[in-house]
Amino acid sequence: MTVKLAEAAARLRQWPVKPLFQAERCAAALASFDFAAPRPLDDCIDFAIAELEGGIVHKTHPRYFGLFNPAPTFPSECADRIVGAFNPQPASATTSPAAGGWQGYGEHIDRATDHAQMLREEMISRGWSIVYASRLAVVCLEPPAGSAAVATIAERVVRSGCAWVSCARFEGRSVLRACITHGETSSNDVAALASVLHEHRLPLA
């Protein structure tokens, strides 16, 4: 299973952030499973991975900038399996002295906030406005005057498959919100988000 998940993780960047889900095909594939007849575990794992690859918004994609859904790296997925076996209690240094890792959490938060600041600077340079000066890795944006509606911009970006952003309400108006939570999101991913946001801001002719 570890190998299968590693292979799936390696394929992730090949997928659009929001794949085109084919409900009828998925239902037909699922119909082949009958709880009255046992299936080999490997077959079930292969099926689950394949359906999830093509059937969900990939919140583990480095260009998912939606809500606060922190994405695991592959080592942390392995860690989940280890935790399931040992059930350590990280909050208790007395009973689980080997299970702490606060420095790593701190480095992740620092990296995410640095990327958020990079996005703010990129968008300001393109004429966008920052509507909330958060110290967290969340950026709320308004496009330049004369742009398409915020919801339209978000829909276009998501439809492009390049990235995922969401809309939010701030002081009674709609804004675009980008949350940076993925440990593998790079400066190139942030630059790509800035470009696709700015590209899709234009109203329809």
| Region 128-151 average pLDDT | 92
pLDDT tens column, 50-101? 888 888 888 778 888 877 677 777 787 788 888 888 777 665 555 665 655 6
- How far apart CA 114 and CA 23 sit, in angstroms, is 39
Q: What local confidence, expressed as pLDDT, does residue 133 receive? A: 77
Domain membership flag for residue 28: no
Q: Which domain holds residue 181?
A: 102-199
Percent of the chain with pLDDT over 70: 91
**CA nearest 128: which of 155, 103, 115, 147?**
147
**CA nearest 194: which of 132, 135, 130?**
130
pLDDT above 80 (res 205): no
CB atoms within 10 A of CB 30: 10
Give the total number of structural domains in the chain: 1
Report residue 76 as tokens.
């942390």
Domain membership flag for residue 155: yes
Domain membership flag for residue 40: no
Q: Which residues pair with 64 in a beta bridge?
A: 164
Domain membership flag for residue 122: yes
Domain membership flag for residue 16: no
CATH of the domain at 116: 3.90.1150.170
Angstrom distances, CA of residue 105 to CA of 76, 79, 172: 12, 14, 34
Report residue 48 as tokens.
């689950």
pLDDT tens column, 180-191? 988 889 999 999
pTM of this prediction? Answer: 0.64
Domain membership flag for residue 51: no
Helices (H), 31-149: 41-55, 74-86, 102-125
Q: Which residues pair with 129 in a beta bridge?
A: 142
Q: What local confidence, expressed as pLDDT, does residue 1 receive? A: 77
E strands, the chain, in order? 129-130, 138-142, 166-170, 173-179
Comparing 13-17, 41-45, 82-86, 102-106, which segment has the lowest mean pLDDT? 102-106
Comparing 3-7, 18-22, 51-55, 129-133, which segment has the lowest mean pLDDT? 18-22
